[in-house]
Amino acid sequence: MAAKTKTIDEYLAAVSDDQRAALEKLRKTIRAAVPKVEECINYGVAAFRLNGKVLVGFGASAKHCTFYPMSGSTVAAHQDELKNYETTKGSIHFQPDTPLPAALVRKLIKA
């Protein structure tokens, strides 16, 4: 990634085409779910802030894309729905060709 990425557009410009397409789709889903959300870069990943609090974020690595619910409990609370994805306590990894379903993203945002 670029050293000092300032916008999500700059962040996306630095990732591969397939990841960019998957993350753009995720970005649209997030913006549709929370229309008043502000885009920002937080800890080097694309993030979305509402009322000053970071709500969710996403990123790209060499092997996968990642969705960050920005809550320590969201992933654990939705483990059944996330069983087909690799997860950590605070992130959900997915392949660009198998993005997270929009309905699931909306549910995770609302959580």
CA distance 96 to 52: 29
> Does the pLDDT of residue 93 top 70, yes or no?
yes
pTM attached to this predicted model: 0.93
pLDDT-based confidence at residue 1 (cuts at 50, 70, 90): very low
pLDDT digits (tens, 9 = 90+) for 76-91: 999 999 999 999 999 9
Q: Which is nearest to 69 in space by CA: 52, 93, 51?
A: 93
pLDDT of residue 3: 55
pLDDT of residue 78: 96
* C-alpha distance from residue 100 to each of 1, 7, 25, 65, 97 (Å): 23, 23, 9, 10, 10
